[in-house]
């Protein structure tokens, strides 16, 4: 149905829709909108909301929706009221209609709804679908458009009238002069705005109006035209050429004695009305006389029926009307209850009042001498309608009154937005949401309110800045408006006991005083450390909570008190100088001492440089053996050479040189010089040849001793002995492996008897194999002794 609403909106925006079609389209949109709104559709019979799951019936004239039971009862009651005055013979022979409660469109007895159908009438008892319009089947409507154009509605089953036909057709204008163009079927009749040009009824002029539908208007021009009789000429509209003057014709009739007495007429005047045979006044005798003579009376009685309709005229034939009937008769009154003798021409009405009930069955007839056909009740009904606001304006009747035809506009507070509902529904209909701004005057001191939508009830609290001038400082109050603040009242009612329920808190609307001024004012702290913005109401001397930090008289420390007031003295120039309120320095001197001085200054904290230190300082000499005592100021003020002299103990350096000999220099700093001149013994590589040389030359690899021939011969013999030993060890290993192999093969042959002796294979061992463990160390020892002897000999 979203597509349906979009389609309706597009058609509404179309520029070629007529005013009538626009009205029908707007009605369709309103019906669909009300169908989607909960409680918007109202049954005018019971004045109750039409729900989605209730069976309904829709009028084909006004498309108003009613509950199925309500409209069935309405039709039955209407037919009964119409047929109730009938006699038993007429009852059931005529088909009396029943009207729609709203538009009075009449339906036949056979049209009384008995089943619940959707809007288009295709589906009986349409199921409830939340995605469709309530009471709709969801199929294409396919109802014929009104007026019929040959097309059918293509929207989904919907309430209200079908919108104008949206089909495109090719059609020409009213006067058929313009070329055919494509247009909407609902607006296929159009005007090209060119002059019509059709000949008017006057036969002389052409229609000058723009192209139009229907017949041309009468010719608007004026011309001089004669009347029908031709006696007068007057300026008259060209559209009405035939006119009659007010003069008598006056033409001489064919008899030659009389003139025509007709007023201006068309055609011949005709024969003289007095010619031919004429009757006497009583119509009994006929005479043939010239037209110049009057017909005489016949002398017989008149015998015409008088006005009473019963008696005849007793006079002789006479001209003019007959006289009134004066015979005495006994007359019955109109109601038939009384009789009386009286002249026949006078009516007789008794004074008895009719006591029959009129058709409303509520009031008596009360008419004097009623003949029995009591007229319908002419009093107003006056019963309160279902809306409970109005009384029935109809003539007094039986049965239920028609629904209230009035509508009520439910308006917003300002009245600019409204919604029209049936009378009686205004109590349960919510006021529409208004998009206009609230126009109420402000209730606070401001000249205008904050912009907000129209509403019922009191306006929301004002949130604009107060902007009142504060008395103490003259600033404007920046707080939100507080002229109508809600204050909770506490303690007004004290409960008499625990059984009494506490009352809900009460709130009163009152104006609160402006809060303290919060405008930031730059203020310097007491110690002049910073300038901070303080609220205007708290402006005054304040401490920033920092350390004072002013330089004390010692010029070394600062005041550690919290930020405080300092009295400026003329002798103290600048913000960093301490004042009389600052602390007095009571610490010792904490200035840095000269490099190497471990003693503190003996004076209290003072300005300027500290005096020289005269304390004795104990130091170690360069060789770290002897302790020396020197004044602190000498050691701290001496240069490198002087410090070396002060740290020297005047003894020989006890350090060892890399060669292993002692340093020959006096106590000195740093590394010992490498100039050792002591004699050392130097040997050849095999240690057999030995010589004495200076230590520094030996360390510098300037002198070396090589082996001679004897040394080489001794080395050769030693290598031969080693080779013989290695060869003997290899042979011994081979024999051992052979013995293990033979033993393994014997075990494989199965010689495992317990009491059988094994054949022993006697192997004769050599002397080297028997005593190798003793001979090998002895030979090594002999070689070493021999080598040592040779080396010692050469030395």
pLDDT, tens only, 11-55: 444 444 444 456 666 767 777 766 656 556 788 888 888 888 889
DSSP reduced 3-state for 437: strand
Contact present, 52 and 134 (Cβ < 8 Å): yes
Rounded CA-CA distance 474/480 in Å is 18
pTM of the model: 0.42
- Kindly tell me if the per-residue pLDDT of 647 is higher than 60: yes
For the segment 458-478, the average pLDDT, to the nearest whole number, is 87
In the prediction, which pLDDT does 622 show?
Answer: 83
For helices 709-748 and 772-794, angle between their N-to-C axes, nearest 10 degrees: 170
767: confidence class by pLDDT, cuts 50, 70, 90: low
Asked whether 113 and 45 are in contact (CB, 8 A), the reply is no
Phi, then psi, of 145 in degrees rounded to 5: -70, 150
Q: Is the pLDDT of residue 476 over 70?
A: yes
Burial class (CB in 10 A: 0-12, 13-18, 19+), 272: middle
Report how far residue 561's alpha carbon sits from residue 548's, in angstroms, rounded to the nearest whole number. Answer: 6
Which two three-digit tokens encode residue 644? 């070396």
Cα–Cα distance for residue pair 210/261, rounded to 1 Å: 48
Residue % of the chain over a pLDDT of 90: 3
pLDDT for the residue 140: 92
Q: What is the pLDDT of residue 558?
A: 86
Neighbours of 61 (CB within 10 A): 15
Residue 584 burial (C-beta neighbours within 10 Å; 0-12, 13-18, 19+): exposed
User: Binning pLDDT at 50, 70 and 90, where does residue 586 land?
Assistant: confident
Does pLDDT of 762 surpass 50? no
Greater model confidence, 399 or 373: 373
Taking 3-state DSSP, the helix, strand and coil percentages for the chain, each rounded to the nearest 5, stand at 20, 20, 65
Q: How many separate helices (H) and strands (E) can be counted in the chain? A: 9, 24
Work out the percent of the chain whose per-residue pLDDT is above 70: 88
Residue 651 has pLDDT above 80, yes or no: yes
CB distance 364 to 374 below 8 Å: no
CA distances from 44 to 41, 390, 425, 723, 748 (A): 9, 14, 10, 141, 129
Confidence label for 765 from pLDDT (cuts 50, 70 and 90): low
pLDDT digits (tens, 9 = 90+) for 209-232: 899 888 888 888 888 888 888 888
Peptide bond into 147 cis (omega under 30): yes
Instruction: Quote the pLDDT of residue 13.
Output: 44
The residue among 627, 600, 629, 628 whose CA lies nearest residue 613 is: 600
What's 111's DSSP letter? G
d(CA 257, CA 259): 7
Name which of 67, 63, 68, 72 is nearest 44 in CA terms: 67
Give tens-digit pLDDT for 127-166: 988 888 888 998 999 998 888 888 998 888 988 888 888 8
Roughly how many angstroms between the first and final C-alpha of the chain, as a whole number?
132
Mean pLDDT of 463-489: 85
Q: Please give the mean pLDDT across all residues of the chain.
A: 81
pLDDT at 324: 86
pLDDT band at 589 (very low <50, low <70, confident <90, very high): confident
| CA-closest candidate to residue 781, choices 736, 726, 713, 721 | 721
DSSP 168: E
Banded pLDDT at 117 (limits 50, 70, 90): very high
pLDDT per position as a tens digit, 71-94: 998 888 887 777 655 444 444 456
CB of 592 within 8 A of CB of 584?
no
pLDDT digits (tens, 9 = 90+) for 281-333: 888 888 887 888 878 888 888 888 888 888 888 888 888 888 888 888 888 88
User: For the ranges 528-542, 607-621, 659-673, 679-693, which has the lowest average pLDDT?
Assistant: 679-693
Strand (E) positions, 242-343? 277-279, 286-288, 328-332, 339-343
Residues of 712-725 as b/e, b for ≥16 C-beta within 10 angstroms?
A: eebeeeeeeeeeee
In angstroms, the CA 149 to CA 153 distance is 11
Which pLDDT score is estimated for 56? 92
Of the listed ranges 148-152, 181-185, 494-498, 525-529, the least confidently predicted one is 494-498
Contact predicate 334/354, CB 8 Å = no
Alpha-helix residue ranges (DSSP H) falling in 358-509: none
Please give the backbone phi and psi of residue 225, each rounded to the nearest 5 degrees, phi first.
Answer: -135, 145
Burial class (CB in 10 A: 0-12, 13-18, 19+), 219: buried
The beta strand positions in 2-148, using DSSP E, are 42-43, 48-49, 56-58, 65-67, 98-99, 106-107
CA distance 8 to 24: 11
Distance of CA 744 to the CA centre of its chain: 104
Domain boundary assignment for the chain: 1-190, 198-237, 519-587
Least confident span in 169-183, 320-334, 397-411, 772-786: 772-786
At 102 the pLDDT is 86
pLDDT at 572 over 70: no
Token pair listed for 594 = 């000269």
Q: Give yes or no for a cis peptide into 674 (omega within 30° of 0).
A: no
Mean pLDDT value of segment 642-655 = 84
Higher pLDDT, 712 or 409: 409
Q: What is the pLDDT of residues 516-557, one digit of tens each?
A: 888 888 998 888 888 888 888 888 888 888 888 888 888 888
- Token digits for 355? 């006591």
How many other CB atoms sit within 10 Å of the CB of residue 404?
22
Whether residue 794 has pLDDT greater than 70: no
Max intra-chain CA distance, the chain: 228
Burial profile 503-523: b = 16 or more Cβ within 10 angstroms, e = fewer: eeeeeeeeeeebeebebeeee
Mean pLDDT of 722-732: 86
């Amino acid at each position: 149905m979203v597509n349906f609403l979009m389609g309706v909106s597009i058609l509404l925006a179309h520029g070629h829709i007529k005013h009538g079609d626009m009205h029908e389209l707007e009605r369709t949109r309103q019906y669909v909108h009300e169908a989607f709104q909960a409680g918007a559709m109202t049954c005018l019979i019971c004045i109750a909301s039409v729900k989605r799951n209730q069976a309904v019936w829709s009028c084909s004239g006004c498309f108003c929706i009613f509950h199925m039971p309500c409209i069935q009862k309405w039709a039955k009651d209407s037919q009964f009221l119409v047929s109730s005055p009938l006699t038993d013979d007429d009852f059931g022979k005529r088909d009396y209609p029943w009207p729609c409660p709203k538009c009075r469109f009449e339906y036949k007895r056979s049209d009384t709804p008995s089943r619940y159908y959707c809007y288009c009438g295709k589906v009986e008892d349409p199921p409830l679908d939340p995605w469709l319009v309530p009471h709709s089947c969801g199929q294409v409507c396919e109802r014929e458009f009104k007026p019929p154009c040959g097309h059918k509605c293509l929207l989904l089953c919907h309430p209200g009238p079908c919108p104008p036909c949206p089909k495109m057709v090719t059609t020409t204008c009213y006067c058929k002069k313009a070329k055919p163009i494509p247009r909407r079927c609902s607006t296929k009749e159009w005007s090209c705005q060119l002059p019509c040009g059709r000949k008017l009824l006057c036969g002389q002029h052409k229609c000058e109006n723009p192209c139009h539908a229907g017949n041309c208007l009468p010719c608007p021009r004026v011309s001089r035209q004669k009347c029908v009789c031709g006696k007068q000429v007057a300026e008259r509209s060209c559209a009405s050429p035939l006119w009659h003057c007010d003069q008598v014709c006056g033409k001489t009739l064919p008899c030659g004695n009389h003139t025509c007495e007709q007023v201006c007429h068309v055609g011949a005047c005709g024969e003289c009305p007095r010619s031919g045979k004429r009757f006497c006044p009583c119509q009994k005798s006929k005479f043939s006389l010239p037209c110049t003579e009057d017909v005489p009376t016949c002398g017989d009685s008149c015998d015409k029926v008088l006005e009473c309709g019963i008696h005849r005229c007793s006079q002789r034939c006479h001209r003019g009307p007959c006289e009134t009937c004066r015979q005495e008769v006994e007359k019955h009154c109109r109601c038939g209850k009384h009789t009386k003798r009286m002249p026949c021409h006078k009516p007789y009405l008794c004074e008895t009042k009719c006591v029959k009930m009129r058709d409303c069955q509520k009031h008596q007839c009360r008419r004097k001498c009623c003949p029995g056909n009591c007229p319908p009740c002419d009093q107003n009904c006056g019963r309160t309608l279902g809306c409970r606001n109005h009384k029935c304006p109809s003539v007094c009747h039986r049965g239920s009154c028609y629904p209230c035809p009035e509508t009520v506009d439910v308006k917003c507070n300002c009245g600019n937005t409204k919604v029209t509902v049936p009378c009686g529904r205004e109590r349960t209909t919510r006021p529409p949401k208004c998009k206009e701004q609230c126009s109420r005057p402000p209730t606070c001191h401001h000249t205008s309110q904050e912009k907000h939508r129209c509403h019922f009830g009191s306006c929301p609290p004002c949130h604009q800045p107060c902007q009142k001038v504060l008395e103490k400082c003259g600033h404007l109050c920046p707080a939100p408006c507080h002229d109508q603040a809600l204050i909770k009242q506490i303690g007004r009612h004290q409960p008499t006991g625990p059984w009494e329920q506490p009352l809900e808190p009460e709130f009163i609307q009152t104006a609160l005083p402006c809060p303290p001024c919060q405008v930031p004012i730059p203020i310097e702290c007491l110690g002049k450390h910073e300038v901070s913005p303080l609220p205007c109401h708290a402006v005054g001397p304040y401490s920033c909570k920092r350390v004072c930090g002013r330089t004390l008289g010692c010029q070394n420390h600062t005041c550690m008190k919290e930020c405080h007031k300092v009295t400026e003295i003329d002798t103290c120039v600048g913000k960093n100088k301490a004042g009389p309120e600052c602390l007095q320095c009571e610490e010792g001197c904490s200035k840095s001492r000269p490099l190497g001085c471990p003693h503190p200054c003996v004076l209290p904290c003072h300005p300027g440089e500290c005096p020289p230190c005269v304390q004795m300082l104990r130091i170690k000499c360069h060789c770290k053996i002897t302790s020396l005592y020197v004044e602190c100021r000498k050691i701290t003020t001496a240069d490198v050479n002087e410090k070396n002299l002060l740290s020297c103990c005047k003894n020989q350096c006890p350090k060892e040189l890399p060669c292993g000999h002692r340093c020959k220099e006096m106590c000195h700093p740093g590394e010992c010089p490498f100039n050792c001149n002591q004699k050392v013994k130097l040997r050849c590589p095999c240690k057999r040849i030995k010589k004495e040389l200076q230590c520094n030359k030996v360390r510098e690899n300037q002198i070396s001793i090589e082996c001679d021939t004897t040394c080489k011969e001794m080395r050769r013999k030693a290598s031969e002995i080693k080779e013989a030993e290695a060869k003997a060890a290899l042979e011994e290993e081979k024999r051992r492996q052979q013995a293990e192999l033979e033993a393994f093969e014997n075990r494989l042959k199965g010689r495992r008897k317990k009491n059988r002796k094994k054949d022993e294979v006697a192997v004769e061992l050599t002397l080297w194999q028997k005593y190798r463990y003793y001979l090998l160390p002895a030979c090594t020892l002999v070689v070493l002794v021999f080598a040592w002897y040779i080396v010692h000999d050469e030395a």
